[in-house]
Amino acid sequence: MIIVLTGTPGTGKSSLAKALAKKLKFPYLDVNKVIDKENLIIEYDKERDSNVVDENKLSKVLVKLIKSNKDLIIDSHLSHYIPQKHVDFCIVTKCDLKVLKKRLEKRKYSKSKVRENMEAEIFDICLNEAIEAKHNIIILDTTKRTLKGLIKTVENEINKN
C-alpha cells in the first residue's frame, strides 16, 4: 500500500508519517532526502527563502521508488504530485492557523515565509491540488489530536476501503 502525506509545512505531516510508518511497519520516505540525493533543486528563490524543485522529475523519481516498494509512506508537501494511479491514499494534514503560526515561527521561518505558508493553509492549496489529482483523500486536523488518535483514524479509513 502506498500512502502519501501532504499538507502545508508545520501541519504535522512528518510526525504523523513517521509514526504511521512505524505502526504499519512500512518504509518511510522523506522526499527532501530524495530531492537532495537526486539533485532536483533547480534554483533558490531568495524572495521566498526556498528551494525550487523540478516537480516533474521529482514525480518520476518517486514513481520509480514506488514501483520497487510494495508498501511505502511518502512524506512531503509535494507528495500529492505523484500521479493518483500510483497512490492508494493521500493524507492531507491541516492545522489551526494560530497553532500553525507558532510552529512556523518556532522553526525560525521569516515573516514572509510564515505568511506564505499561512495563506497556503487558508486557501487549502495542498488539499485542492490533491483533489484535482483525483487522489483518495483522508483529511486530518492535527491541531488537538494525539498521534495515536490520528493513526487510529487513518487505520479506520483504510479499513473502510
pLDDT at 40: 96
> Could you report the per-residue pLDDT of 82-94, keeping only the tens digit for each?
999 999 999 999 9
- Phi–psi pair at 141, nearest 5 degrees: -90, 115
- Phi–psi pair at 90, nearest 5 degrees: -120, 110
CA distance 62 to 72: 11
CB of 117 closer than 8 Å to CB of 124: no
CB of 95 closer than 8 Å to CB of 16: no
CB of 37 closer than 8 Å to CB of 64: no
Percent of the chain past pLDDT 90, that is, above it, reads 95
> Could you report the per-residue pLDDT of 105-153, keeping only the tens digit for each?
999 999 999 999 999 999 999 999 999 999 999 999 999 999 999 999 9
CA distance 29 to 4: 9
Burial 28-50 (b: 16+ CB within 10 A, else e): bbebeebbeebebeeeeeeeeee
Strand ranges, E, within the chain: 2-7, 28-30, 41-45, 50-53, 72-75, 89-94, 137-141
3-state secondary structure of 45: strand
157 — pLDDT class (breaks 50, 70, 90): very high
Question: What average pLDDT does the structure give for the chain?
Answer: 96
68 — pLDDT class (breaks 50, 70, 90): very high
3-state secondary structure of 50: strand
Grid coordinates standing for 30?
Answer: 522523506
CA distance 74 to 2: 8
